[in-house]
Amino acid sequence: MTSSLLWKASFWTLVLATLWLSLVPVDQIPSAFSFWDKAQHALGFAGLGFLGLMAYPHRLPRVMFGLLLLGAGIEVAQWLTGWRQGDWQDWIADCVGLLLGFPAWRLGRSLLVRIST
């Protein structure tokens, strides 16, 4: 498996896990994921931003904009479920997470370049 394929598989796996964790009833979420809600959003979207940019490094605007839309879509979907609550502040936490994922990607990418040379 090439590293590009591994990054893409990791990214899409995290996208699916994020969707699942965001849309199932709260009582079905494993307790390991029970910590401050806004931190969950920021951490999750930092990971999505990092992996998305590692998987698609030449599509930075598309990845970031797509993840912003994903976060907003999740909040709307939660509002529509009846068992979750959509919250604009959660979307702001998603945006903060993306802002944290970007420098992590820059650092990770530069470290990979140094290791490979």
Residue 53 pLDDT: 95
Tens digits of per-residue pLDDT, 74-83? 999 999 998 8
Give DSSP secondary structure letters for the chain: --HHHHHHHHHHHHHHHHHHHHHS-GGGS-GGG-S-HHHHHHHHHHHHHHHHHHHSTT-HHHHHHHHHHHHHHHHHHHHHHSSS---HHHHHHHHHHHHHHHHHHHHHHHHHHHHH-
Q: Is it the case that residue 25 has pLDDT exceeding 80?
A: yes
Query: Residue 82, by phi and psi: left (phi above 0), alpha (psi -120 to 50) or beta?
Result: left
The Cα 100–Cα 73 span in angstroms is 20
Closest CA to 62 of 82, 70, 103: 70
pTM of the model: 0.85
42 vs 114, which has greater pLDDT? 42
